[in-house]
Amino acid sequence: MSGVVALKQEASEARVRVRYAETDQMGVVYHANYLVWFEIGRVEFIRQLGLDYKSMEREEGCGIAVVNVSARYKAPARYDDELVIQTRLLAARGPVIRFGYRIVRAVDGVLLCEGETVHVVVDKDMKKRSLPQRYADRFATALIS
């Protein structure tokens, strides 16, 4: 596919522990919590690049709006499991950014969920705009053409 670039760096990692409130009556993590964990991974990925999402919003006047999400659930997570959120930058082209995620149980490495999010860079009025240059430059260093 033209314009799609492969990951150069290793995935960033963030860890979370499943809280009781995140489980359903069957004791299994409710599926929507994985989307929250995708966000935790994405923010940590940006931080590990030496950038700050909060500063991008405040100082640059833009954000990265989610326009598409996919998740594939492989095995259940349960209360008190420690999870590792592995996040990669899959593509960055113009105002469109795509991240990939794998969530694994820390104790045994079992893959619980994998997914992707697609984002569009927007201004405060939710109008499409370019990614600020220093963010675009840093994202580019994480990718190979």
- Catalytic amino acids? 24
Cα–Cα distance list, 111 to 2, 10, 34, 85 (Å): 30, 17, 13, 10
Tokens of 45: 């990925």
Q: Which one, of 141, 94, 100, 87, lies nearest residue 121 by Cα?
A: 94
Q: In a 10 Å sphere around its CB, with 0-12 CB exposed, 13-18 middle and 19+ buried, how is residue 119 labelled?
A: buried
- Count the neighbouring beta carbons within 10 Å of the beta carbon of residue 81: 18
Check if the beta carbon of residue 111 is closer than 8 Å to that of residue 74: yes
Cα–Cα distance list, 36 to 13, 137, 142 (Å): 15, 27, 23
